[in-house]
């Protein structure tokens, strides 16, 4: 929401440095899908928002910064993975003009920026599973967008060994379909050699052979804490610059004679969750993209800290409404992977308070 390419670049560089410090030389991101609906369960992961131009500009900055640290990116999810409901069985039916005008631009820009890998998605595209869709993976991604790197599957997304001939190069997380015996039985070894060439070319292009990182199993590196005060400050700066003020009827900035503030809303003092595959939290959605925050400053804590320093009393009970000079209602929502949101409403029903 900052629309700040330079800031995105600095943040991406910091993330890559932390990845590298943990021994990783590849990142499963950035997510570039364009929001088709505000109910999308993984919208919180995608930097494009609902604007393909925004996604193209920010995605390119992100890719360049991460790979400048010799950490390989995997742009995802190719393609049209704009919903989580029935994501492994539903088909996204898209005509060519819509695809190129709305959904491809972030991926095209990331490819031009040098993205090394692409992750194909769970969903079907025009009736064919994305990773096995040769028109999508070879025809569009390689032939029309000029992608030279390698294509990996989303986790257990493959439906058959035919994905290899369609253009997918790597099966994740295990070789269930790309097992040597199956490749031999299906006369796919020649295409497997091409897949290996795509993977090795990406490795050598980023010179990862010269900077391989830690030695497996990398236990010490993976357990290390790579967070630094500078990166914490950077995260705060990025969050602040991403704030969007939708409307102001003369309330902000608060007038100097405010003596009492009433803070309402069920999310005003909620912490984060350490359960990655749970519902998520207002700070980070649930699923594989959840990054737990151990020491968040809740809105109530932040308001109370600043207000107290200025001699302002902070109230939290609705019964104190008549005493309050200003009322702040904190509303929030979250979403999660593998499940779309059920409604447009905020969590814990603060809509009535806001209205």
Count the neighbouring beta carbons within 10 Å of the beta carbon of residue 80.
26
> Which residues contact residue 327 at a Cβ distance below 8 angstroms, ignoring those fewer than 6 apart?
261, 262, 264, 321
Closest CA to 82 of 131, 55, 46: 46
Q: Evaluate if pTM is beyond 0.85.
A: yes
Q: 241: left (phi > 0), else alpha (psi -120 to 50), else beta?
A: alpha
Closest CA to 120 of 96, 137, 98: 137
pLDDT at res. 241: 95
Asked if residue 189 has a cis previous peptide bond (ω within 30° of 0), the answer is no
Please report, for residues 44, 242, 258, 355, the alpha-carbon distance to residue 337 in angstroms, rounded to integers and kept in the order given: 10, 23, 42, 30
Q: Which entry of 154, 267, 272, 340 is annotated as an active-site residue?
A: 154
- The phi and psi torsions of 106 (rounded to 5 degrees) equal -60, -40
d(C-alpha 260, C-alpha 334), whole Å: 30
∠ CA 158-163-169 to the nearest 5 degrees?
Answer: 95
Cβ-count burial of 325 within 10 angstroms (0-12 exposed, 13-18 middle, 19+ buried)? middle
Tokens coding 294: 């151990």
pLDDT at res. 276: 83
pLDDT at res. 211: 85
pLDDT at res. 170: 98
Element (H, E) at 27: strand 26-27
Tokens coding 282: 């207002």
State pLDDT tens for residues 89-144.
Answer: 999 999 999 999 999 999 999 999 999 999 999 999 999 999 999 999 999 999 99
Tokens coding 78: 């190719």
Please report, for residues 17, 41, 64, 95, 253, the alpha-carbon distance to residue 250 in angstroms, rounded to integers and kept in the order given: 43, 35, 41, 46, 8
Please report, for residues 248, 313, 332, 350, the alpha-carbon distance to residue 262 in angstroms, rounded to integers and kept in the order given: 18, 9, 17, 14
Q: How many residues does the chain have?
A: 355
Known catalytic membership, residue 295: no
Tokens 């609902």 locate to 50
Cβ-count burial of 204 within 10 angstroms (0-12 exposed, 13-18 middle, 19+ buried)? exposed
Mean pLDDT per 10-residue segment, the chain (355 residues): 95 97 96 96 96 98 98 98 96 98 98 98 98 98 98 97 97 96 93 97 95 88 94 95 92 92 95 87 94 90 96 96 95 95 90 82
């Amino acid at each position: 929401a900052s629309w700040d390419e330079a800031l995105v670049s600095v943040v991406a560089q910091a993330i890559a440095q932390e990845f590298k410090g943990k021994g990783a030389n590849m990142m499963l991101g950035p997510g570039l899908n364009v929001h088709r609906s505000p109910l999308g369960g993984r919208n919180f992961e995608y930097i494009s928002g609902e604007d393909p131009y925004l996604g193209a500009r920010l995605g390119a900055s992100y890719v360049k910064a991460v790979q400048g640290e010799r950490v390989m990116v995997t742009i995802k999810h190719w393609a049209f993975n704009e919903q989580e409901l029935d994501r492994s069985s539903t088909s996204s039916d898209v005509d060519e003009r819509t695809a190129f005008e709305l959904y491809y631009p972030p991926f095209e820009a990331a490819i031009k920026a040098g993205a090394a890998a692409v992750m194909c998605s769970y969903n079907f595209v025009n009736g064919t599973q994305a990773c096995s869709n040769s028109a999508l993976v070879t025809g569009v991604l390689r032939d029309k967008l000029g992608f030279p790197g390698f294509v990996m599957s989303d986790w257990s997304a493959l439906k058959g060994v035919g994905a290899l001939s369609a253009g997918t190069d790597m099966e994740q997380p295990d070789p269930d379909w790309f097992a040597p015996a199956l490749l031999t039985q299906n006369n796919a070894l020649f295409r497997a050699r091409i897949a290996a060439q795509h993977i090795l070319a990406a490795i050598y292009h980023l010179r990862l052979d010269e900077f391989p990182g830690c030695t497996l199993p990398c236990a010490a590196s993976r357990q290390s804490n790579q967070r630094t005060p500078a990166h914490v400050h950077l995260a705060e700066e990025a969050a602040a610059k991403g704030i969007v003020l939708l409307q102001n009827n003369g309330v902000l900035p608060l007038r100097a004679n405010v003596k009492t503030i009433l803070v309402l809303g069920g999310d005003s003092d909620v912490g984060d969750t350490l359960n990655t595959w749970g519902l998520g939290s207002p700070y980070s959605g649930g699923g594989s993209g959840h990054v737990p925050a151990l020491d968040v400053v809740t809105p109530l804590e932040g308001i109370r800290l600043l207000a107290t320093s200025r001699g302002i009393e902070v109230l939290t009970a609705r019964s104190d409404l008549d005493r309050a000079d200003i009322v702040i209602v904190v509303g929030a929502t979250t979403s999660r992977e593998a499940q779309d949101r059920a409604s447009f409403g905020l969590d814990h029903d603060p809509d009535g308070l806001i209205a």
